[in-house]
């Protein structure tokens, strides 16, 4: 089963959020049609706040900073330089097992964190990867996805060396009683997305049997269909 990785843009060549979203939607249509392999897009964004479908008004930036509404599950979050963002666009083994897909992503990120002596954990009732202790739980990786016609969109954001100040302007992921951290903050030295992207690819590839369904890739000259034209259900996971 094929699983490809595409590094779209890293410092200083950050990716505009809307451009990245357009790229996801185009790739989603191709994976759905069978004209492209399952692919993980990896990148860093220009600074941006995005709001999932469950975002409430009081969780938005306190200073009125604009927010891009998106079609993933979850609530409000920030993306920007120093944060490794991954958008797996995959045909799932079983589209009904969204929670297992999220857990597989978490497992891969937890394994990468172990390289840096960081004990990444799950917290009951909260998706993503957390660092516990020192008085408060701190989120180090967020996950927010959409599954449309059995093919995933959106994905994960791993805090590497990003500034944490933007999180002080929002209630990140709708969680008021926890903090946010980065790999660099935890270990006291700078670790950038470029430093660990290969390890993230490696851990995801090792888990490809849990991520994607075995299927052949058809290369055709047909126009790419609009995924909204076909019947089906969309599912989201919490951020």
**160 is known as an active-site residue:** no
Separation of alpha carbons 180 and 83, rounded Å: 12
- Classify residue 46 by burial, with Cβ atoms within 10 Å: 0-12, 13-18, 19+: middle
Q: What is the largest CA-CA distance in the chain?
A: 58
Instruction: Give CA–CA dist 228/239, Å, rounded.
Output: 24
2, 67, 76, 109, 122 from 51: Cα distances, Å: 32, 7, 4, 23, 22
Could you say which of 67, 109, 147, 173 is catalytic?
173
d(CA 226, CA 49): 27
Q: Catalytic site residues?
A: 173
């Amino acid at each position: 089963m094929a699983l490809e990785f595409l590094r779209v843009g890293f410092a200083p060549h950050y990716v505009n959020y809307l451009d990245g979203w357009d790229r996801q939607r185009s790739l989603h249509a191709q994976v759905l049609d069978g004209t492209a392999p399952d692919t993980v897009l990896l990148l860093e964004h220009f600074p941006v706040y995005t709001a999932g479908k469950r975002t409430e008004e009081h969780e938005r930036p306190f200073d009125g900073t604009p927010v891009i509404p998106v079609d993933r599950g979850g609530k409000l979050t920030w993306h920007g330089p120093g944060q490794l963002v991954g958008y797996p666009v995959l045909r799932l083994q079983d589209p009904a097992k969204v929670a297992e897909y999220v857990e597989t992503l978490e497992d891969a990120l937890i394994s990468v964190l172990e390289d840096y002596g960081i004990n990444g954990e799950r917290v009951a009732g909260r998706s993503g990867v957390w660092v516990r202790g020192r008085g408060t739980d701190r989120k180090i990786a967020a996950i927010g996805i959409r599954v449309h016609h059995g093919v995933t969109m959106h994905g994960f954001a791993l805090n590497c060396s990003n500034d944490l100040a933007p999180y002080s302007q929002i209630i990140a992921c709708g969680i008021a009683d926890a903090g946010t951290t980065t790999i660099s903050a935890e270990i006291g030295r700078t670790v950038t997305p470029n430093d660990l992207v290969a390890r993230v690819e490696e851990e995801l590839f090792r888990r490809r049997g849990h991520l994607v369904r075995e299927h052949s890739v058809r290369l055709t000259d047909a126009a790419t269909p609009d995924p909204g034209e076909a019947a089906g259900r969309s599912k989201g996971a919490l951020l």
